[in-house]
Structure 1
């Protein structure tokens, strides 16, 4: 029985599909840790799937280093212990690189940069100073570099109210339980835009760019995983150079992240 050219082409395409499928299955799993409560960077959608900027970045990294991403959610204040004990292999959850954290985990090169800001209801009269904050209640996310930085710079004459997630913080802020909030610009600005804009909320004082607060955001692995961090660094740099990073960021933000 003769084999036609069309049949040969179909056989070749079928063999290629099988080979690609086998290669995909052969790619080792890489467990990726993420908070899942820091939109638009990471959150959990109605179907229970983790989504957001960090997730898109992580999936692209897995593709570039030939791994299968397996996403694992973890409450923010337990992120580093969970990484260290092997709950996941890579932490892609918008973590600021600080000396204290660098002593515990190994960070990649920064994949984006962020700055902090204070926000309050428009017309509240809140002033971002030691005197202006006196007697006020300011919301922050627990376990972030913002928590120790505020009292160190502005004293203890005001109450800091820490929240396990920014969702919780924004809920209390919207309901009038906080005089102000202090968090990353890239979190606060999109939230304000979606919740009444400048008519409802405003920035208080200047954007903070203090080295003690940190502005470099990195991806973390365990200290011993030097080969893995080198792979991730190469992939991050390539994503920035070929425009993939900017394209992913543009899906979520109207301003550059680097």
Structure 2
């Protein structure tokens, strides 16, 4: 009788263990399936690029010295352009640039016409809700171009009230100008001289933009009677490559490549070529005014 009971208990225990094993196997299988599904979603854009062997990147082609055509040349170049060429080469993809006005670049990602954007774009909270960003490849801060004759009547950011700013409608710089009470005159995909001459002749009063870009634009166009404001340095910035929100694998590949380019000095070398010997790939050392009350 005891042997029979022992035999029954052993059979019951075996069934329970088998059932537990089956449940665990099913759980592990489900976990594996979820992981595979996540990886598949994560790799969608990357797999697409691998299949095509090419990445299409949007840029303006009019933003000196980030993305522009040298006088008399039909070859696109600039800090952002040459950096992106190096990134694409290192991740094993051919590169094609498509040119858009600044306000059309992010829309071109959303429509699927391009795979990424590089055009001195800053990361903002609003943009992060819609797009993925690489680690920064450039650090800077904002400055202001004003008329040489009277600094456009501006001594502080608070003096922007009622002034007219020249810039793109969707830029951080226009947000800053409007935060302090200015209005923005918007442009299409025009070159720097158009912006500068409008300040000179009074159609606009000032232009907020990146320190490196503005200082070099002024150097390239010395005949226009405008200058950087001597006392206003504000809004520390960083620039990143913009990608579709779900392009996680592409983001990882680009970030790893940028890190490699930081470490081997490639970013410094490209920066010094386009920014007058200055290294824009590192954070500036001076104190820059933060803009309070503006959610960027």
TM-score (norm 1): 0.79
Aligned length: 226
In the alignment, what sits opposite 1:30? 55
3-state SS of the aligned residue for 1:95? Answer: coil
Deviations 1:187-214 (A, max 9, x none): 111122233399852425320126xxxx
After superposition, the Cα gap between the structure-2 partners of 1:121 and 1:85, relative to the gap in structure 1 and judged at 3 Å, is same
Question: Deviation of residue 123 (structure 1)?
Answer: 3.5
Alignment map for 1:113-152 (pairs within 5 Å): 113-125=139-151, 126-129=153-156, 132-152=159-179
In the alignment, what sits opposite 1:80? 106
Question: Deviation of residue 163 (structure 1)?
Answer: 2.5
Do residues 70 (structure 1) and 93 (structure 2) align? Answer: no
In the alignment, what sits opposite 1:249? 271
Measured in 2, the distance between the counterparts of 1:131 and 1:88 equals 39
The 8 Å contact of residues 118 and 128 in structure 1, kept in 2 or not, is answered as no
In the alignment, what sits opposite 1:233? 255
Measured in 2, the distance between the counterparts of 1:198 and 1:238 equals 40
In the alignment, what sits opposite 2:195? 169
Greater helix percent: which structure? 2
The 8 Å contact of residues 64 and 217 in structure 2, kept in 1 or not, is answered as no
Cα RMSD of the aligned pairs, angstroms, is: 2.4
Question: Deviation of residue 142 (structure 1)?
Answer: 2.7
Measured in 2, the distance between the counterparts of 1:96 and 1:81 equals 16
Do residues 218 (structure 1) and 209 (structure 2) align? Answer: no
Measured in 1, the distance between the counterparts of 2:100 and 2:114 equals 10
Question: Deviation of residue 38 (structure 1)?
Answer: 0.9
Question: Deviation of residue 122 (structure 1)?
Answer: 2.1
Deviations 1:57-104 (A, max 9, x none): 110001110110011112211211211221111211111110111111
3-state SS of the aligned residue for 2:121? Answer: strand
| Runs of 4+ residues over 6 Å off in structure 1 | none
3-state SS of the aligned residue for 2:186? Answer: strand
Question: Deviation of residue 130 (structure 1)?
Answer: 5.9
In the alignment, what sits opposite 1:98? 124
Question: Deviation of residue 47 (structure 1)?
Answer: 5.2
Between 1:182-191 and 1:125-134, the stretch displaced more is 125-134
Unaligned 5+ residue runs, structure 2? 1-50, 283-296
